[in-house]
Chains A and B, each alone.
Chain A
Amino acid sequence: MPREAEPSLSERTFTLQAISEGLRLDSRKLDQFRPLELSFGDEYGVADVKLGKTRVLAKVSAEVTVPFSDRPFDGIFQITSELGPMVAPSFEVNRPTETEILLARLLEKTIRRSGALDTESLCLIAGQKCWSVRVDLHILSADGNLIDSSCLAVVAALRHFRRPDTSIEGETLTIYTAAEREPVPLSWLHSPFCTTFDFFGEDGEIVLVDTTWLEEQLRVGSVTFSLNKHGEICQISKLGGKPVEATLIIQCAQMALAKSKEFTDLVDARLAEDAKRRDKGGLMAELSAENER
């Protein structure tokens, strides 16, 4: 059975020693993120996030199906994430590990439950037809901080995605293909982003942001904030670990808010660049069938 790789004693002792001196192995500051790259694919709804050696790809797809019987006015929205053998030989297909389950739960709470995507707008004919939007998160390479990068990828992909346009006349529903009418964006309400803080030291007094895999193995506690740029908190989770001073948590919340604003600006900038790239000749405004509101 391929065992989970574990860091050696030298690596452990040295990394902790360095952190207690305020140094990190890649010479970053304790509160500095690795270089973050966000790019979109040629298809709508594909977002690729690179955070150091961590690389995740989110893909959004939509199809028309029957809504759940207990929620006839809502569409279906689901996020699936799976770590496969691509990440490491110790991950098996269809056998979720703790990391996977926690990641899935966090994304669920941050994006689905907070109502970032308006599911009522996905309803086509109440009780009969609705859009089912699914986000597939593919983790290509994991070197720590999967949570922050995954959330960013999913949010960026959902904002980038365009679903086929529809129209209803009386009882008939027409779904237009991409060749007939330009696809339309999803109804997006707010953009939540996650920031994870890891605690080190005797009393968990040293705080690190964006840890690599090695640093993650050595942390004594961690807290993840999910909030949008307006400071509205979607969730906070600190799952066990060393008890930490409350004032430290408040400080982390402030840092998370600043980070969330940064991420929002980054996603907006990349989306604008991508729109410009596609919109050669300024025809997009003319092709859109949406009314000016």
Chain B
Amino acid sequence: MSSEPVFVLPGDHIDPSLIPSHPKKPVRLGPGLRHVPPSDLLPTLAGQLVTDRQKNAIRVETSNGRYIPRVGELVIGTINKSASEVYFVSLSDYTAPALLPQLSFESATKKTRPILAPGALVYARVTLANKHMDAELECVSASTGKADGLGPLVGGMLFTVSVGMARLLMMPKKAQQGKVVVLDELADAGLQFETATGRNGRLWVDSDSTKTIIVVGRAIQETDQKSLGADEQRKLVKKLIKELS
């Protein structure tokens, strides 16, 4: 499924053998690649070229950079202000805010909409993202009308992580695929907490104990900043648990 690590710089020529060629499916270009008509594929980011032959997709993997909204991704946003029918939500510092309709919450009607103060956090899904318009979000699934975990996040604490780390945390099997074992280790050590991760590099942690939240946040941030492997993560967790008691 994944090929040998091939490092590319923007403008590099890609070896045709790395481009997946399924007889029926079209090639899907992920982030970091540019199509130059008629048939050239050029990388636009410096990173590892990853080919997924099953999905017939190809992309360039990087772990740093600023978040750029893409449709379908789950993000944690901060409410800036509210206008007539819509909230302005900031997904990352210094970028243009995204729009979240005030009725886009579970069982919200014109009379019973949730009031969110500036500074409140929401867990939302991106519904519209292109370069010409402000991004748009929703806190409820458009088809079923259920929230599925989306909506305001109350209390807890927000930590910033890199975009790459956020992606690892959101993998379905993070311990195996992403080699992020910190959260499991901390839970095994008896700490009780819940987390929510946004693709825009934000991690929300909540627990009854203040110390637990601090420990979880520190563990993830250190794993991120120092690119710790699985064993090093276990050592870090042991150290933090010892400091706790």
Contact = CB atoms under 8 A, between A and B. Distances in A.
Contact of B211 (A15, A23, A26): A23
Interface string A145-188: 00000000000000000000000000000000000000000000
Specify which of A3, A8, A18, A27 lies most central, judged by the most chain B CB atoms within 10 Å of its CB: A8
B119 A25 contact: no
Specify which of B94, B120, B121 lies most central, judged by the most chain A CB atoms within 10 Å of its CB: B94
A14 B93 CA distance: 20
A250 B120 CA distance: 39
Given A3-B94, A26-B218, A11 B158 contact: yes
Given A6-B119, A10-B121, A18-B214, A88 B153 contact: no
A7 B202 CA distance: 13
Contacts of A88: 93-94
Interface in B198-230: 204, 210-211, 213-214, 217-218
Interface string A9-30: 1111111011001010111000
B94 A10 contact: no
Nearest to B92: A5
Interface in B135-190: 153-158
A12 to B, nearest CB: 7
Interface of A: 2-3, 5-15, 17-18, 21, 23, 25-27, 88-90
Interface in B91-122: 93-94, 117, 119-121
Contacts of B94: 2-3, 5, 88-90
Contacts of B233: none
A6 B78 CA distance: 10
Nearest to A25: B214
B156 A14 contact: yes
A9 B93 contact: no
Contacts of A25: 214, 217-218
